[in-house]
Amino acid sequence: MKIKFLKKIPAIVLISIFIISCEQKVKPNTDHPSKETITVKTVEETTVLTSKPAQIQIEKINAEAFQSAIQQEKTNKKTEKITDFKLVVKQLAGVVDFKELDGYLLVNKINFRNGTSSGNKDQLEECTFVAYFPSEDILLLEGGHTTDVSFDLKTGQKTYDAGNPDLVITSPSGKYRLNRVFEGQECFYHFIQEKKNGWFQKVFELDKTFKKNFNKWLCIIEKGFWTDDNTFYFREVIQFKETGNVYEYYKVKITHEL
């Protein structure tokens, strides 16, 4: 079933840099011609605070805590996308070489805006067009077993860095977002991106941190939401049942330490 939902180094680094300016001026002393006046060193002390990269903590919580947090859920704005064949072919002319076959829009080649291009290893002949996200400049395709295949047309980054913008859950100010990739069969790959210099970059592989903490892989996030820019809640499907799915609940905290 395909469901489209969804280290700690506390440190305070205080670097004191002593900049010693030893300017030695010698000038005649008019009152005492036989002596010299020497002006010696002045010392300036500059304190610089540097910060370590942000870290994440994942905590397992109960259903009651999860339901309580939902009251603080912030609205997630969907990313604009283009799915119309004619419109996307026109808009990406010269960047993406498309071909239409049997009602599907296929891709022959991608000429990325950074001057590079796709190669044989990208296996584009196996992929069909799904959507183009103009604000992200990301092309989303579907590969075998309905897997997500995506390309950042500006940077040339691929699926596990570009993700699927249709599945993102963004924090209130847009600083962070959960991104996902459907890997076929059932499970998703989950990661967190941070907006830097105007575009989103992967900063945390949520799956790996989850595996390290709980000794199991994170597969399906059915419900996820941010309550502020640093706090994300989600529930994971543990078992599908006709009488009601079985879930586990988690809280993710992003910490910023000097």
| pLDDT tens readout for residues 126-161 | 899 999 999 999 999 999 999 999 999 999 999 999
Q: Are strands 246-255 and 231-239 parallel, antiparallel or unpaired?
A: antiparallel
Decide which of 125 and 8 is more confident.
125
**Domain closes at, from 117, 150, 166:** 166
Percent of the chain with pLDDT over 70: 79
Distances in Å between the Cα of 211 and the Cα atoms of 5, 58, 127, 203, 204 are: 20, 11, 30, 17, 13
What is the extent of the structural domain holding 239?
A: 1-6+55-77+168-258
Please determine, for residue 176, whether its predicted confidence score (pLDDT) is greater than 60: yes
Least confident of 18-22, 76-80, 81-85, 207-211: 18-22
Pair (156, 257) in one structural domain: no
**pLDDT, tens digit, 9 for 90 and up, residues 64-100:** 999 999 999 998 889 999 999 999 999 999 999 999 9
Q: Are strands 199-204 and 246-255 parallel, antiparallel or unpaired?
A: unpaired
Q: Domain count of the chain?
A: 2
Pair (227, 247) in one structural domain: yes
Pair (130, 183) in one structural domain: no
First vs last Cα of the chain: how many Å apart?
44
